Amino acid sequence: MSEQAGDDHLPNDVPAVQNALVEWYEADHRDYPWRQTDDPYEILVSEVMSQQTQLDRVVAAWEDFLEQWPTVADLAAADRGDVVGFWTDHSLGYNNRAKYLHEAAGQVVEDHDGQWPRDPDGLSELMGVGPYTANAVASFAFNNGNAVVDTNVKRVLYRAFDVPDDDSAFEETAQRLMPEGRSEVWNNAIMELGGVACEKTPDCDGAQCPWREWCSAYQSGDFTAPDVPTQPTFEGSRRQMRGRVISVLNEYDELALDELGPRVRVDYAPEGEYGREWLRGLLSDLDDDGLVTLTDGVATLSRT
């Protein structure tokens, strides 16, 4: 592969690589509704929901969420228990993400007079908004982000340009590739490439990958990629049980341990493996997250 001085992993003609990807994306891409808005609130909701849920499943939840709380002010004014209950009912993963989203909405309304920070650094100051999410919102709402580097992007760069499995190398190469001032379209495009053409099992020709002429993996037939951590099994997991506790308390408001336990696990036995000690551990975790309180053996959903 021909190389440009200072960019050990890129071909000489970087503009051609950039144009090929943007043209491919603009010609045809998955039409998710959050790609049709530049509202930072709507984009943040989609980003938080997408952290543990497949995008196709996020669509209905995202639409339902925005129907119930259409603006950041509506969410800030909402009962946190209702927001957490929504999260659980839609199987959107860790419930503390709902709590943090609710608190971030409050920050925007109370600390910023309803005006959103417009860059990654400012957005990172919102509760629960890490560097990746802050950069995504800055990119897609304000076209003011850096190059996104997620698992899909790492896989693309590793295969296409022999970028070593090193975070700093991925970040440097991704930033060098992104056309200046075009973070919105570029970050969408490169994530789309990793999501439809360069998945774990690639579909180079079927998806008409625009980088085939430069791609080392396509030329060599070696499609190895960095290891991707496997998602822990959800069924029977502690995460699922935490969600059930929230769901039950959202319905009953408060319950004694031995009333709550059988509603969380059918095999609950007060002195057994999944008994009071196990349930207290779950409730302790939820108490640490500010979602549940346990007083005198009675669990209560926190609604403040």
Alpha helices in 117-256 (DSSP H): 120-123, 131-142, 151-161, 167-177, 183-196, 216-220, 238-252
d(CA 76, CA 84): 13
**How large is the angle between the packed helices 131-142 and 40-49, nearest 10 degrees?**
140
Is 47 annotated as catalytic? Answer: yes
Helix (H, G, I), strand (E, B) or coil at 257: helix
Residue 157, judged by CB atoms within 10 A of its CB (0-12, 13-18, 19+), counts as buried
Task: Note whether 98 and 84 are within 8 A (CB).
Answer: yes
Residue 143: phi and psi, rounded to 5, are 50, 40
300, β-bridge pairs: 254, 293
Cβ atoms of 104 and 127 within 8 Å: the answer is yes
Of 129, 157, 161, the closest CA to residue 145 belongs to: 129
Separation CA 117–CA 9 (nearest Å):
34
**Which amino acid is residue 62, in one-letter code?**
W
What is the rounded distance in angstroms from the CA atom of residue 243 to the CA atom of residue 94? 8
At 138, which amino acid appears? A
Selected catalytic residue, list 47, 199, 213, 251? 47
Q: Phi-psi bin for 239: left (phi > 0), alpha (psi -120 to 50), beta?
A: alpha
CA-closest candidate to residue 265, choices 250, 282, 253:
282
- CA–CA separation, 216 and 223 (whole Å): 9
Active site residues: 47
